[in-house]
Amino acid sequence: MENLTTDAVLSTAYLEYLPENPLYEPFKQSWILMNQKYTKFQIATWGSLIVHEFVYFAACLPAFIFQFLPFMRRFKIQSDKPETAEKQWKCLKLILFNHFFIQLPLIAGTYLFTEMFGIPYGWDEMPTWYNLALRVFGCAVIEDTWHYFLHFALHDRRIYKHIHKIHHHFQAPFGLTAEYAHPLETLILGFGFFLGILMFANHVVLLWAWVTIRLFETIDVHSGYDVPYLNIFHLIPFYAGSRFHDFHHKNFTGNYSSTFLWWDVIFGTDSQYKDYKAKLAKEKKKLK
């Protein structure tokens, strides 16, 4: 293996000596075992519910812990509005109602969807990671577009107080508030989540990968914290982030996108946010 040329390093023969991903084989065996032990209906329905609940509350956990750590307060965006047990309990009750009485019936339709469109469950049909990543990105672009225009419509004064006002109950959001919404809003904005699946689903794993990314993203922007360097979402070009969406809850107007910046930039609905940032920068400069 000494004195290898560049061509030799890149050759297929050499690549065979590279260590495999240590998670590959356990994941493969677990996936095969799941398909052997459970029916497609059980995987699509109860598997999807478990993934949703586990990811949702796991993603909420870091920001929940931050409130008890004094050194993390410097990263809280609206530091003058701390979380309280009363707020969190109020939020949790509606979240659980929406999860089990609104979202679970929708999740139950997953099996019918996969059967209707012939979506595979097996290991042999498992897409490559980069194929999956591109499809998840496509889902995010579609959802963000749907979310922007429908979210903008929900702020119309004629309907705002009937539906979207519930989500804005918490002017300083925390992670759990990501899905704190009127049942109708859950259906209206949630439809954007399914649009991408309708277009890009080539395996049931896409449903779980997409819901995982989407939940981590929406909980991140509702977390109330902006922790630098640790947030991998900021590696994504045009990612809006928690400060962008936190301003929407504080200001009620503008910043309507869910994930990316471009629709707000194109239509100028981020103008108040830009003015706010400029004001903060000016005040910070005066203090120096």
- Residue ranges with strand state E in the chain: none
Could you read off the pLDDT of 15-46 as tens digits, one per residue?
344 456 788 899 999 999 999 999 999 999 99
Could you read off the pLDDT of 202-235 as tens digits, one per residue?
999 999 999 999 999 999 999 999 998 888 998 9
Q: Give the chain's domain count.
A: 1
Closest among 185, 177, 184, 186 to 221, alpha carbons compared: 177
2 has pLDDT over 70: no
Report yes or no on 241 lying in a domain. yes
State which residues form the domain around 139. Answer: 21-287
pLDDT of residue 288: 66
Which two tokens mark 66? 């931050």
Q: Per-residue DSSP letters for 72-114?
A: GGGGBTTTTS---HHHHHHHHHHHHHHIIIIIHHHHTTHHHHH
- The pTM score is 0.90
Report yes or no on 11 lying in a domain. no
pLDDT of residue 11: 38
Give yes or no for a contact between 226 and 243, defined as CB atoms under 8 angstroms apart: yes
Report yes or no on 9 lying in a domain. no
Rounded mean pLDDT of 242-254? 96
Which two tokens mark 49? 């519910």
Distance, in Å, from the CA atom of 8 to the CA atom of 147, rounded to the nearest integer, reads 49
Give yes or no for a contact between 197 and 117, defined as CB atoms under 8 angstroms apart: no
Report yes or no on 246 lying in a domain. yes
pLDDT of residue 8: 40
pLDDT of residue 229: 82
pLDDT of residue 188: 97
Could you read off the pLDDT of 89-101 as tens digits, one per residue?
999 999 999 999 9
Percentage of the chain beyond pLDDT 70 is: 93
Distance, in Å, from the CA atom of 89 to the CA atom of 180, rounded to the nearest integer, reads 12
Report yes or no on 7 lying in a domain. no
pLDDT of residue 55: 98
Q: Rounded to the nearest 10 degrees, what angle do helices 204-221 and 129-154 cross at?
A: 50
Give yes or no for a contact between 102 and 186, defined as CB atoms under 8 angstroms apart: yes
pLDDT of residue 14: 37
142 has pLDDT over 80: yes
| Lookup result for tokens 């100028």 | 268
Beta bridge partners of 76: 225
User: In the chain, what is the greatest distance between 2 CA atoms, to the nearest angstrom?
Assistant: 74
Could you read off the pLDDT of 54-85 as tens digits, one per residue?
999 999 999 999 999 999 999 999 999 988 99
5 has pLDDT over 80: no
Report yes or no on 187 lying in a domain. yes
Could you read off the pLDDT of 159-189 as tens digits, one per residue?
999 999 999 999 999 999 999 999 999 999 9
Beta bridge partners of 225: 76
What is the Rg, in whole angstroms, of the alpha carbon atoms belonging to the chain?
Answer: 22
Give yes or no for a contact between 77 and 246, defined as CB atoms under 8 angstroms apart: yes
Residues 6+ apart with CB under 8 A from 162: 182
Distances (CA, A) of 201 to 39, 114, 121, 192, 257: 19, 9, 11, 14, 23
